Chains A and B, each alone.
Chain A
Amino acid sequence: MRIGLFVPCFVDALCPRAGIATVRLLERLGHEVRFAAGAVCCGQPAFNAGHWDLARPVAETCIAALDAVEADAIVCPSGSCAAFLRSHLAELLPDDPRAAAVAAKTFELGELLARRLALTDVGARFPARVVWHDACHALRALGLHDEPRRLLAAVRGLELVEAPGGAECCGFGGVFAVTHADVSTAIGEERAAALERTGADVIASSDPTCLMQLAGLLARRGWRGRALHLAEILAET
């Protein structure tokens, strides 16, 4: 399949390894990856903060590039950006006919694998104890709960554990992490501690922003584990 790749701004700048692992995984599975280099950001930071006028041109640039990549499906290694394109693009750009088409074929990575490609076992091997952190937008806007867990459960050598209390926010929240740094940190400390208590070597998630928040907090607690994107685990053989 021709799979377009959207690497959002913060993944590109702060967590490129999630994008690299996505490429390696999809190519190993026999797909052609077409990177939409012109798609920089979906526009979510400004949209969520209420500045739709600032978000609009950014989103327009993004969907023009995603549209031009001519792919059967588009993958994004961030549940939040995929959810944004799916849920809010039509509202932000009501007159752009490309918006609905791009939104309909854009998937978060685990979603693409499990739903679009109907895969469970991607042939990965990753011997570690892994706890899955549900990123809020992947969980609630995209409805992804069992999908990433099934993918991880099929990885050889991987032991999947759950954090007590179920899904809780990491406290990042985009611009919120800056404007409400103290509250963001307090929420994150709670979540990080719950994940740490599982005794997992690895915290995995579908959103690099959650992982950066959690890793940044756990680093101060002297945690020796790793925070990895789903792609980084599934790419390992």
Chain B
Amino acid sequence: MKAADPRLRRVIGKAVASWGEQTARTRARFLDFAWGRAALRARKADALARLPGLLEEFERQAAARGTRVHWAQDAAEARAIVLEVARRSGARTAVKSKSMVTEEIGLNAFLEEHGIRPVETDLGEFIVQLRGEPPSHIVTPAMHLTREDIGRTFHERLGVPEGGSPEELTAAARAALRTGFRASDLGITGANFLVAETGMIAITENEGNARLVTALPRVHVALAGIEKVIATLDELALFLPMLAVSGTGQQLTAYNTLIGGPRAADEADGPEECHVVLLDNGRTRLLADADARETLHCIRCGACLNACPVFRAVGGHAYGTTYQGPIGSVITPHLRASEGFGHLPSASTLCGACNEVCPVGIDLQRQLLRGRRSRARAGGLERLLLRLWAFAAGSERRWRAALALARWLPLRPRASRRDLPQVAPESFRTWWRKRERP
């Protein structure tokens, strides 16, 4: 992994600084944020401990409201389910609200291959889709772009005059999105929470686009990881503000929607058909591993990305994953076990800033250390060097010999942008010995 160029680092730094100020302000309004974190951690732990039962309850309750629940073992099954729903709806265009699970399963490319045009309606997602890029952040997809970058993209792709104001750019996006909405018979969303007791899905957003996506098209399909289920509706009273504070520094996001199934006979709007796809895709592997299970607590707020000095230095795209930053580095090696993401946990200074901001109390530092253990078995140069170090540090006599050798060898490590420390002419222990026996 390489550092991003200074320009990109500045862009990310600015976005994160503004997040930091907002979050600090709204966090301070909690009587006891730490209590909230402990409470959410307990709720998630409890929900995961009885996950199969809660999912079945969700399915029962959702079915009672007329929602069809589908179970997908992996990405391919989930894609096939969505395609089947899309084909039966006859949709040629699908409008989408922001969903990282659809990124995880590569849904957009798949739909395009099958003649269905996906239109991202979250502004950030819309921008990265225009550019043919994946999101660079799980909450702020276009974090890596400046207003000028976006202006250029809109100029090239939408014919907006160059140097447009934010208002002009937003108006252009709005016009393009309205066309998409009018043409679409299928709305695709994620879900922030699945409420087992009521069979509802909760979506939290700021642009109102998810409301349109779930209200306008004839068919709505929501995709969610199985870990998104919570037991009761009450719990949202804590989950929603904790998510908003950590994600964007808002007390609550502008729109919080509970979706309870297709339009009822006495209702004026809403889709005719509602589907929920419950995705495993490696999550039961995490669930089965008692030590790694807490990573399923994640509510995808993105705070650990923002807090991470490595994320800010490399940018989201450098990870090559759907989920970036510390949480991505600990879950991706499990979710995509065969694809060689085992190096990611090593890309951390272990500074612990992620632990400090996580609203559900995931011990990310510990998870990063665990991830390194699985990787360490492979060996390689790192292990060889550490083996030499362990031999030298294994006794004082060997350590003294190693220091003497290091001074004698013409080893003067160099780096292009920083001076590296050199072995001191006299070690502490030599100083001490001389002092004791002058």
Contact = CB atoms under 8 A, between A and B. Distances in A.
Given A184-B349, A187-B349, A48 B372 contact: yes
Contacts of B412: none
B340 interface: no
Given A46-B386, A58-B390, A16 B424 contact: yes
Interface string A3-29: 000010111111111011001000000
A50 B399 CA distance: 22
A186 B9 contact: yes
Contacts of A137: 350, 352
Nearest to A179: B346
Contacts of B50: none
A171 B349 contact: yes
A175 B386 CA distance: 9
Contacts of A212: 421
A217 B424 contact: no
A166 B314 CA distance: 21
Contacts of B423: 13-14
Contacts of A217: 417-419
B254 interface: no
Interface string A214-235: 0111011000000000000000
Nearest to B399: A40
Contacts of B314: 183, 186
A145 to B, nearest CB: 12
Contacts of A14: 421-424
Given A50-B376, A212-B421, A12 B427 contact: yes
Contacts of B346: 49, 175-176, 179-180
Interface residues of B, number: 60
Nearest to B355: A140
Contacts of B417: 185, 189, 217, 220
B396 A172 contact: no
A20 B429 CA distance: 10
A43 B426 CA distance: 23
A23 B347 CA distance: 36
A13 B376 contact: no
Interface in B355-380: 355-356, 369, 371-376
Given A174-B350, A179-B346, A216 B373 contact: no
> Of residues B9, B374, B375, B389, which shows the largest number of chain A Cβ atoms within 10 Å of its Cβ?
B389
A52 interface: yes
Interface string A181-223: 1111111111000000000000000000000110111011000
B309 A168 contact: yes
Given A183-B2, A186-B9, A216-B421, A16 B347 contact: no
A19 to B, nearest CB: 4
A233 to B, nearest CB: 18
B348 interface: yes
B245 to A, nearest CB: 18
A46 B432 contact: no
Contacts of B312: 187
A35 interface: yes
A66 interface: no
B347 A180 contact: yes
A6 B89 CA distance: 71
A43 B353 CA distance: 23
State the majority secondary structure of interface residues on A.
helix
- Residues of A in contact with B, size category: 35 or more
Given A7-B429, A37-B432, 12 more contacts: A12-B429, A13-B424, A37-B433, A46-B386, A47-B369, A50-B375, A51-B386, A52-B376, A54-B386, A58-B394, A169-B351, A174-B349
Contacts of A187: 3, 309-310, 312-313, 349
> Of residues A41, A50, A140, A174, which shows the largest number of chain B Cβ atoms within 10 Å of its Cβ?
A50
A17 B432 CA distance: 11
Interface of A: 7, 9-17, 19-20, 23, 35, 37-38, 40-41, 43, 45-52, 54-55, 57-58, 61, 65, 136-137, 140-141, 165, 168-169, 171-176, 179-190, 212-213, 215-217, 219-220
A172 B351 CA distance: 9
A55 B374 contact: no
> Of residues B351, B390, B420, which shows the largest number of chain A Cβ atoms within 10 Å of its Cβ?
B351
Interface in B218-240: none
Given A16-B431, A19-B428, A136 B349 contact: yes
Contact of A20 (B382, B386, B431): B431
A15 B424 CA distance: 7
B222 to A, nearest CB: 37
Contact of A215 (B2, B371, B419, B424): B419
Contacts of B411: none
Contacts of A57: 390, 394
A220 B369 contact: no
Given A50-B375, A180-B1, A40 B396 contact: yes
Contacts of B350: 48, 136-137, 173-174, 176
A183 B394 contact: no
A146 B1 CA distance: 35
